[in-house]
Amino acid sequence: MTATIDTAWSNPLRDSRDKRLPRIAGPCSLVIFGVTGDLARRKLMPAVYDLAARGLLPPSFALVGFARRDWDDQDFGQIVHDAVREHSRTPFREEVWERLSEGFRFVQGAFDDDAAFDQLSEVLADLDRQRGTDGNHAFYLSIPPGAFPTVCEQLQRSGLADQTDEHWRRVVIEKPFGHDLTSAQELNAVVNRVFPEDAVFRIDHYLGKETVQNILALRFANQLFDPLWSSHYVDHVQITMAEDIGLGGRAGYYDGIGAARDVIQNHLLQLLALVAMEEPVSFEPRELQNEKIKVLSATRNVLPLELNTARGQYGPGWQGSTEVPGLVDEEGFAQDSITETYAAIAVEVDSRRWAGVPFYLRTGKRLGRRVTEIALVFKRAPHLPFDKTMTEELGENALVIRVQPDEGITLRFGSKVPGSSMQVRDVNMDFSYGQAFTESSPEAYERLILDVLLGEPSLFPVNDEVELSWKILDPVLRAWADSGRPDTYESGTWGPRSADEMMNRVGRTWRRP
């Protein structure tokens, strides 16, 4: 008789809950600071409604807005209503709205106003009594980063950050997590003085996307890909986040930050960590974080930086069929600014698996298309038993994880062109979320807000990840700061010439997604 081992049972790290069941938050309130802001209106309030519509919020849930406007609870309700009507993913249902809006409260005040935080404390205590939120509060700082220290200190002063065995208190922080290593360390120190690290949820909304979580399923639920997933077969990896839009009204915010800080430091290095990490012992948050931390600790810039990085600012050109101005003509952008709207860097992961495989990370505004993808580009076959002419149209094999839009996975390989002659050309095999599943994917913010309320930290970078990412980026930013103005690239193209040169020098090209 063969003995069978129940691996789920024998692994002490796995809990007994059936992970297929919907996860519903317990009694709690969500306090949003900066509730009049763009993020709250477009993403946060609609996500709260969508969670309620999916039955994932408890009856004893409350949403509290904090801002400077002279609003009462009804005004706030109207603002949430308008945001939900305009931006929610699920259809508006009156009965969901009625139940949810009973728990809306608004507190008026500025961040340095002690009395406003004392009032917030009273409102939350009332909600605990009236709606049974049980003293569990999540504080979402959807505010300018410079205000994080003040709000954390106010939460501490008013006793709202106090943790006990009876209730939890959590804080949610939006990127940017500092603008270099030193400022990130200072920020982490400020936040960790008030909240223990396991109560801090740093939002990198890319990690809330289904396609990004699917990297783990693709890699660790299948036998097919793992043997290929290393320097034996992978030539290089390209991770791209391209936007077709320019800065528009955000020019003032963006000047001094730039593409590398805005995207590479967080989203792209997180994607790299998921692609390059080893299999975690389990999907317990600590295990996942450890594997990502190992990758980020082993990630080095390819040197010299002047040949292995590229940056640029968009000039005039076309966005689709519309003629658009260049960056320096955007309102709020300093004429002599050296802030880049395009950034590309090459890094390597010093590990047995990835030795010698460059990872190219690039992001930019006003590029040819809005697309985010991860492409593993494979080495060419060591020998081709064909006449040269037969494989002239054969490129490199590639596995492309399409993060957005048109979420899915493409496998590109060579195939015989039908006909009496032998000719090989690239073809694509496609998996598309939209076609394979009937369920639509939740918005990243739905998933992440629910995880905050559940205290499930897997998808939130911890302070070590943030600091390691800055350690990778800081030398690049210093080198760029010392070398004058970035190149200009035409809007609607795929970036500056220096980016192509960076790849051509080593016999590679950027993908044109």
Ligand X SMILES: NC(=O)c1ccc[n+]([C@@H]2O[C@H](COP(=O)([O-])OP(=O)(O)OC[C@H]3O[C@@H](n4cnc5c(N)ncnc54)[C@H](OP(=O)(O)O)[C@@H]3O)[C@@H](O)[C@H]2O)c1
* Binding flag, residue 110, ligand X (CB under 6 A): yes
Q: Which of 14, 26, 36, 317 touches ligand X by CB under 6 A?
A: 36
- Whether 267 is a known active-site residue: answer yes
By CB under 6 A, tell whether 143 contacts ligand X. yes
The answer to the question of whether 68 is labelled as a binding residue is yes
- Give the SS3 label for residue 80: helix
Q: How many residues bind ligand X (CB under 6 A)?
A: 20
The stretches of 68-113 forming alpha helices (DSSP H) are 73-87, 94-101
SS3 200: strand
Give 3-state DSSP helix, strand, coil % of the chain, rounded to 5: 40, 20, 40
Residues 144-183 that bind ligand X (CB under 6 A): 144-145, 147, 174-176
User: For residue 209, which of 217, 197, 200 has the smallest C-alpha distance?
Assistant: 217
Nearer to ligand X, 87 or 425 (CB): 87
Region near ligand X per CB under 6 A, out of 28-36, 427-435, 455-463, 505-513? 28-36
73-87 helix and 45-53 helix, angle to the nearest 10 degrees: 80
Q: Does 366 bind ligand X (CB under 6 A)?
A: no
Nearer to ligand X among residue 148 and residue 489 (C-beta):
148
Which are the contacts of 120, defined by CB distance < 8 A and separation ≥ 6?
31, 64, 66, 107, 109, 158, 160
Q: Is residue 142 near ligand X by the rule CB under 6 A?
A: yes
- The helix/strand/coil state of 186 is helix
Q: Looking at beta carbons only, is 36 or 185 nearer to ligand X?
A: 36
DSSP state of 18: -
Smaller CB separation from ligand X, 34 or 486: 34
Interaction residues for ligand X, span 246-285 (CB under 6 A): none
Residue 81, annotated as binding a ligand: no
Is 365 known as a binding-site position? yes
Q: Which residues of 376-396 are buried (b: 16+ CB within 10 A; e: fewer)?
A: bbbeeeeeeeeeeebbeebeb
Q: What SS3 state is found at 267?
A: helix
Q: Counting contacts by CB under 6 A, is residue 111 touching ligand X?
A: yes
67 binds ligand X (CB under 6 A): yes
71 in contact with ligand X (CB under 6 A): no
Interface with ligand X (CB under 6 A), residue from 27, 31, 34, 374: 34
Which residue in the shown chain puts its C-beta closest to ligand X?
A: 37
**Residue 405 to residues 54, 262, 408, Cα–Cα distance (Å):** 23, 20, 9
Amino acid (1-letter code) at residue 71: W
Q: Which residue of the set 137, 179, 236, 267 is catalytic? A: 267
Planar angle of CA 91, 96, 102, nearest 5 degrees:
140
Interaction of residue 334 with ligand X, rule CB under 6 A: no
Positions marked catalytic: 267
Q: Which residues bind ligand X (CB under 6 A)?
A: 34-40, 67-69, 110-111, 142-145, 147, 174-176
Could you tell me which residues are annotated as the binding site? Answer: 68, 175, 205, 209, 243, 262, 365
Q: Pick out the residues of the known binding site for NADP(+).
A: 68, 175
Annotated binding site for substrate: 205, 209, 243, 262, 365
